[in-house]
Amino acid sequence: MSNSVSALNGENVKGFVQVSELGLQGMITLRANLSTPKVKKAIKDVTGVLVPKMRQILHDGDNSIGWMSPDELLILCPHSGAEAMVTALNDALGKTHALVINVSDARAMFAVKGADARDAMAKLAPTDFGMGFQPGEIRRSRLAQVAGAFWMVDQETFNVVCFRSVARYMFDVLAVSAEKGGEVGYF
């Protein structure tokens, strides 16, 4: 619907890296036995993306799938197409025991962009942001005081997902980390 708004409606701020809320983003939680051929096929058929392996995030066109746990995936797609994709996945899964649910509005998504993006992220999460962390990996962790998931889009950009209710906190805390004068020059 046209009156849909994301948590922060695309707010952004520039420090030594840029922090942006990314607006409306379709997201689907899928829980199932991910090793069964039927589940794999249903997901590939509907989204065009393969089922990712442990801590992997795969992309194809507008859709991405991130590995959340051994029986849970996060499917990213255009916001307006999420409901239809839920229906399509349910149809494709048929009677298979699975849970597919639209969580687009339960979440918020951010980009942290700039040459020192790793430094900004390393102020918040107890995660190794060294060169071992590369595009293609998704990590769930804690960012300051809230849970989040993040992955690299390219060498300079992280995407971060958190719950919608704490979107303001996430934005603010990323912005504080990115404040000029706080460059670390570590990574």
Partner 1 sequence: MSTRLPNAGRLIDASKQIEFSFNGKRLKGYEGDTLASALLANDQMLVGRSFKYHRPRGIVASGAEEPNALMNMGEGGQFEPNQRATTTELFDGLAAKSQNHWPSLDFDVGAINTHLARFLPAGFYYKMFIHPRPFWKHVYEPIIRKSAGLGRAPKDRDQDRYEHFYTFVDVLVVGGGVAGLQAALAAGQSGANVLLIEQTADWGGRAQVDGGEVDGKPVADWIASTLKALDDLPNVTRRDRLMGAGVYDHGYALGYERVNDHTPSNAGPRHRLWRIRAKQIVTATGAIERPLSFAGNDIPGVMLASAVRDYAVNFGVSVGDRTVVVTNNDDAYLTAIAMKNAGLDVPAILDARASANGDLVQQAIDMGIRLEFGRAIAAVKGGKRVTGVKVCAQIGEGAVLSEIDCEVVAMSGGWSPVVHLWSHCGGKLNWDVEQQMFRPDATRPPTSHDGEAMVTVAGIANGYLDLNNVLQDADQAGKNAAKAAGSKPKTAKAPTASEATISPMEPVWLMPQGAPIKKRMKAWLDFQNDVKVSDVQLAAQEGYESVEHTKRYTTLGMATDQGKLSNINGLAVLSKALNADIPQVGTTTFRPPYTPISMGAIAGEARGKVFQPLRRTPIHDWNMANGADPEPVGQWHRPFAYVEQGETVHEAVNREVLNTRQNLGLLDASTLGKIIVKGPDAGKFLDMMYTNMMSSLKPGKCRYGLVCTENGFLMDDGVVARIDDDTYLCHTTTGGADRIHAHMEEWLQTEWWDWKVYTANVTEQFAQIAVVGPNARKVLEKLGGMDVSKEALPFMTWADGIIGGFDCRAYRISFSGELSYEIAVPASQGQAFWDALIEAGQEFGVMPYGTETLHILRAEKGFIMIGDESDGTVIPQDLNLQWAISKKKEDFLGKRAQLRSHMADPDRWKLVGLETLDGSVLPDGAYVVADGTNANGQRNMIGRVTSTYYSATLDRGIAMGLVLHGPDRMGEVLDIPKTDGTIIKTRIVDPVIYDKDGEKQNV
Partner 2 sequence: MLILDCPYCGTSADETELSPGGEAHIKRYGPGSSDTDFEGYLFGRENPKGVHFERWRHANGCGKWFHAARCTMTLEVFGTYAAQTFEPPQEIKDKISAKRPGWSWRDFS
Q: Identify the residue whose tokens are 């020192």.
A: 116
Radius of gyration of the chain (CA): 17
Beta carbon of residue 18, minimum distance to partner 2 (angstroms, whole number): 26
Task: Pick between residue 73 and residue 167 the one whose CB is nearest to partner 2.
Answer: 73
Among the listed residues 2, 51, 7, 3, the one whose alpha carbon sits nearest the alpha carbon of residue 160 = 7
- Residue 112 binding partner per list partner 2, partner 1, none, with a CB distance cut-off of 5 to 8 Å that depends on partner kind: none
Q: How far apart are CA 12 and CA 145, in angstroms?
A: 21
Q: By the criterion CB under 8 A, which residues form the site for partner 2?
A: 54-55, 68-70, 72, 126, 139-142, 147
- The identity of residue 37, as a single letter, is P
173 is an interface residue for partner 1 by CB under 8 A: yes
Choose, by CB under 8 A, the member of 13, 22, 29, 44 that binds partner 1.
29
11 is an interface residue for partner 1 by CB under 8 A: no
Q: Where are the beta strands (DSSP E) in the chain?
A: 12-14, 18-21, 26-32, 57-60, 63-69, 72-77, 98-102, 107-113, 138-143, 146-154, 157-163
- Residue 176 binding partner per list partner 1, partner 2, none, with a CB distance cut-off of 5 to 8 Å that depends on partner kind: partner 1
Contacting partner 1 within 68-87 (CB under 8 A): 71, 79
The arrangement of strands across the sheet holding 138-143 comes to 12-14, 18-21, 107-113, 157-163, 146-154, 138-143
Choose, by CB under 8 A, the member of 11, 105, 137, 156 that binds partner 1.
105
Choose, by CB under 8 A, the member of 128, 135, 136, 154 that binds partner 1.
128
Q: How far apart are CA 38 and CA 59, in angstroms?
A: 20
Task: Pick between residue 1 and residue 54 the one whose CB is nearest to partner 2.
Answer: 54
Task: Pick between residue 105 and residue 137 the one whose CB is nearest to partner 1.
Answer: 105
- Do residues 181 and 119 touch, judged by C-beta distance below 8 A? no
Binding site for partner 1 (CB under 8 A): 1, 3-6, 24, 29, 31-32, 71, 79, 97-99, 101-107, 119, 122-130, 144-146, 163-170, 172-173, 176-177, 179-184, 186
